[in-house]
Amino acid sequence: EKEKSLLKHENFFKIVCALVSKLEEKFGICIVYDMHSYNWKRWNREVPTWNLGTTNVDQKRFKNDIESWRATLEKTPFPKGIKSTSKVNDTFLGNGYFLKYISQHFNNTLVLATEISKVYCDELKYIMYPEVIEAVETYLKTELKKHAEAFYTSHKL
């Protein structure tokens, strides 16, 4: 069982390497949005709706891209009176293996570890809020594309 799991892990990263290599080869630059969620109720303070973890990316080189993504997320039009806030390195710092692996192996790829607080559900009661999920999905469908296009335009070689 352990061997099978390790093989899946190894194969996953072979695919990631192949994809990112091809994208860097074709475009000279690549951006990866590493999306996660976290339970805001576990914190004993007010936390942002969105958090970007950037401690393991080139913050100097990609400063404008990080800030534009943070600003975009802060404009998410949530229903139900949910306030959209967005911070960098507040609840999480971007220490995930996926981000570190790509950042260490590729010089022209930015990985944006993007965390959304679980405002789209009540995790303790197992209740989903479809209108919130739909609002996030609709917004990200357009904004991810816009941000990626702006990233490419500003960094193309």
pLDDT tens per residue, range 96-110: 999 999 999 999 999
What's the pLDDT band for 156 if we cut at 50, 70, 90? confident
What's the pLDDT band for 31 if we cut at 50, 70, 90? very high
pLDDT tens per residue, range 66-98: 999 999 999 999 999 999 999 999 999 999 999
pLDDT, average across residues 61-70: 98
Q: In sequence order, what are the residues at sequence separation of 6 or more whose Cβ sits closer than 8 angstroms to the Cβ of residue 60?
A: none
Kindly compute the dihedral angle of the four CA atoms of residues 43, 64, 21, 33, in this order, to the nearest 10 degrees.
30
CA 83 – CA 117 distance, rounded (Å)? 11
| Token pair in block for residue 111 | 């990985």
Task: Give the N- to C-terminal CA distance of the chain in Å, as an integer.
Answer: 45
List domains and CATH numbers for the chain: 2-155 (3.40.630.40)
Report the DSSP beta bridge partners of residue 32. Answer: 111
